[in-house]
Every structure is written in structure tokens, then in C-alpha cells.
Amino acid sequence: GEARVPLEVFAAKNPDEEIRRTSSSGGVFTALAETVLNEGGVVFGARWNEHWEVVHDYTETCEGLAAFRGSKYVQSVVGDTFKQAERFLKGGRKVLYSGTPCQIAALKRFLDKDYEHLLTVDCICHGTPSPGVFRWYMGEQLAKVIGKDGYRFVPCPIPLIPQVDVLAREEGCRIEGIRFRDKKEGWKNFSFAFDLTVGISSTQAKAVSFSYPLRKSSFLSGFLSNLYLRPSCYACPAKNGKSAADITLGDYWGIASLMPQLDDDRGISAVLVGTPKGRVALEATAVELYPVPYEDVRGKNSALTNSCAVPIGRSVFWTADSKSFHQKIKDICRVSFAQRVKRKFRAVLRMSGVKR
Ligand SMILES: Cc1cc2nc3c(=O)[nH]c(=O)nc-3n(C[C@H](O)[C@H](O)[C@H](O)COP(=O)(O)OP(=O)(O)OC[C@H]3O[C@@H](n4cnc5c(N)ncnc54)[C@H](O)[C@@H]3O)c2cc1C
């Protein structure tokens, strides 16, 4: 499709605090999905499967939406869901399909026809990390927290790494949950977190949780440094409205400079309305909407319009050597002493009001 300027743009949040807490930004996805379900519709989204892989699936209940909530920073497998959605649409059911811009563009190509009762929701998308790299990271992380040495291998080409549930069993534990956007330390300083049951083969099985805030998580650092996005993400043909989604959702990073009263650090969404159908769907929800200029979102969230550049570190990351995942990230993302001094200096200036 063509690049597009949205019809309307909002800062928004779901008035239900529990839904907002368990969502990545303002919980707008759940509000849209609930209205579709209440009208007898079906909702498609990304969830974990039993092997801790991210897959697309559908639900017909509000309880089923919990699995879709929260961004999973791994490319999801759409599997048969385009066909399933088509079957529901042909049967006259309302369908909400949510995914990354490229998934929405692909769904539209697959359907090859406009359905009045299809609502598409995509996201402002940074790009999606490789599932193989996520398995590598999880395997090493589990070995580390359970107390063994992280295992090492040559990541280029990525050999067949066992599924995450298998890796966990090898360490005598079971994964109970994985969250990329845990808000325990706040929306802005989000954490990568996971819950385990350890000692599953003994009589003293117990629950333990781990969480790593943004700057301390090697997986999030490598993701945000663009080291292992899918190759296609560096030249994305679907962002900037080209997916033709009815609604685009994102994090309203920087809301504090526009509407400080909204910034409670519990998550505010940026909502871009792409079509009249999207506007009707949004108005049917109980979401609190605050109109904002499009330029504000575009200026604060470059992922809306631009693909990431390929960083120098990407080829370093994918070069075969015997380093662990953790060590690679540490070496590539290490901030130099000079950079640290510069940052500290800027922070002091900002605090003293010299610089805004
Ligand atoms: C890979 C990825 C990259 C993103 N990059 C940015 C960014 O750079 N800037 C920005 O502002 N926002 C980004 N987002 C969007 C943001 O994280 C929130 O998803 C969005 O703000 C909606 O939040 P919410 O609170 O309304 O809903 P939530 O409940 O948090 O959102 C859940 C929605 O995300 C979908 N979803 C979750 N994981 C995946 C996945 N792996 N593949 C496809 N769909 C998925 C679910 O199906 C559901 O529709 C990204 C999301 C993903 C999945």
C-alpha cells in the first residue's frame, strides 16, 4: 500500500487499571477486542504456545484475551490463522486481527477482498527479533539462574536450539510465564521477567521469579540495539500506514512533554486512526481519548515511519565465535567511559535547569 497520514491521532488509556497494568502501553488493544467479542466476533492475536514459542491464535472469550496482552518481542508464527480468519469472515462473523504491520499487509493480500466486518489493528513496530536468538538467550539464562555455566555455541548459522520448554526441563525447572514488558519498575523502565517452578523432579518444587529492567536485560539491550531483528525489518515495506490497518497502536513515549498530567508511568498508548471503520470501532470502546497532533507522535516515535538502520554490531553479533550470548551483548553494547561521562554531564545540566 501507499504511505498514509492518519485521520485522527490520540493519546489513550483503558480506564480499567488491571487491564492497563497487564498491557504493554495503555491497554487499548483489549478495549477494542472486548467490543468485537461482545458483538459475537472473534479476535486474533499473538500468544505463547506450550513450547514458549510465539504463535498467532484466536479467541472467542474475554478471558482468552489475557494471553494476547503484552508485546512479545519475538516474531510470531501466523500458521493457519489467515485461513481461519477468512472462514469466520465468510461465515459472517466479525473478526479483529491484530499483528505487526507486515502481518496485516499479508493478511489483506491473502484475503484479496475487503470485508466490512474485518477490523485490523497493527502496531508501531520497532521490528521483530529472531525466535532462534530468543531460544539461545533463554537457554543460557536458565542455565545461569539455575547455577550451571551458560552453554556456549557458535551462533552462525544458528544451529538447531531445542525449544525453551525442553531447555527448562534439562535444568530441572518449568517456565510459568515470560513478560517482555513487566511494569513492576514502571512503564518507562520496563523489565524482562520470567517465572519458574524449580526442582520439578524433587519433592521441594518452588516458585521463583526473575526480572531485569531495560538496561540490565541483555535480550532487551540487543533488541533495542537492532542486533537480531529479521533481515526484512531493516527495510520494512509495511510501516508508515502502508499496511492499511484500521487502527495502529503504540507506546506514547514522551507524553510527559505534551500532557504531563497523563504521565502516571502506568502506560499511555498512541492511537492512530487509519480508516472511518477504525474510528467507529474506537468510539465504541470506553477508552479515554485525548486528541494530539500527528507530528507529536511522529516526532517522538521514529519506528512509526522509519526502519532501523543495520548497526555495525549486527555482523559482530552473527560472527561465529565461542562467546556466550551474554558476553556478546556486553562487548557490543558496552558504553564507553567517555559516553558515560557525557551522559552524566547532560543529566546534571538537565537537573540544574541549564538545559532542557
Ligand atoms: C514486535 C513489536 C515491536 C513493537 N515496537 C514498538 C515501537 O517501536 N514503538 C511503539 O510505540 N510500540 C511498539 N510496539 C507496540 C507496543 O509494544 C504495544 O503493543 C502497543 O502499544 C499496544 O499496547 P496495548 O497496551 O494497547 O496492548 P497490549 O495488550 O500490550 O498489546 C497486545 C497486542 O500486541 C500483539 N502482539 C504481541 N506480541 C506480538 C508479536 N510478537 N507479533 C505480533 N503481534 C503481537 C497482540 O496480538 C495484541 O494485539 C511493538 C509491538 C511489537 C509486538
What is the tens place of the pLDDT at every residue in 112-149? 999 999 999 999 999 999 999 999 999 999 999 998 87
Residue 288 pLDDT exceeds 60: yes
Whole-angstrom CA distances from 301 to 252, 255, 347 are 8, 11, 22
- Quickly state the pLDDT bin for 355 (edges 50, 70, 90): low
Confirm whether 14 is domain-assigned. Answer: yes
Using the 3D structure, point to which of 186, 207, 228 is the last residue of a domain.
228
pLDDT of residue 154: 64
19 CA to centre of ligand 1 in angstroms: 15
Confirm whether 248 is domain-assigned. Answer: yes
Residue 351 pLDDT exceeds 70: no
Sheet holding 191-198, edge to edge: 173-182, 191-198, 206-213
Q: Which of 69, 71, 282 to mutate to test the pocket of ligand 1 (most atoms within 8 A of CB)?
A: 71
pLDDT of residue 202: 86
pLDDT of residue 156: 67
In this structure, are 162 and 271 located in the same domain?
no
71 CA to centre of ligand 1 in angstroms: 4
Confirm whether 160 is domain-assigned. Answer: yes
Confirm whether 45 is domain-assigned. Answer: yes
46 CA to centre of ligand 1 in angstroms: 9
pLDDT in tens, 15-67: 999 999 999 999 999 999 999 999 999 999 999 999 999 999 999 999 999 99
208 CA to centre of ligand 1 in angstroms: 27
- For ligand 1, residues with CB inside 6 Å are 23-30, 45-46, 54, 68-74, 76, 98-100, 123-126, 128, 249-251, 269, 301, 303
Using the 3D structure, point to which of 304, 322, 345 is the last residue of a domain.
304
In this structure, are 236 and 117 located in the same domain?
yes
pLDDT of residue 253: 96
Using the 3D structure, point to which of 304, 320, 346 is the last residue of a domain.
304
pLDDT of residue 148: 81
Whole-angstrom CA distances from 218 to 4, 57, 164, 276 are 35, 29, 17, 41
State which H helix or E strand residue 117 sits in. none
In this structure, are 15 and 120 located in the same domain?
yes
Confirm whether 82 is domain-assigned. Answer: yes
Structural domain including 221 reads 131-228
24 CA to centre of ligand 1 in angstroms: 7
What's the structural domain count of the chain? Answer: 2
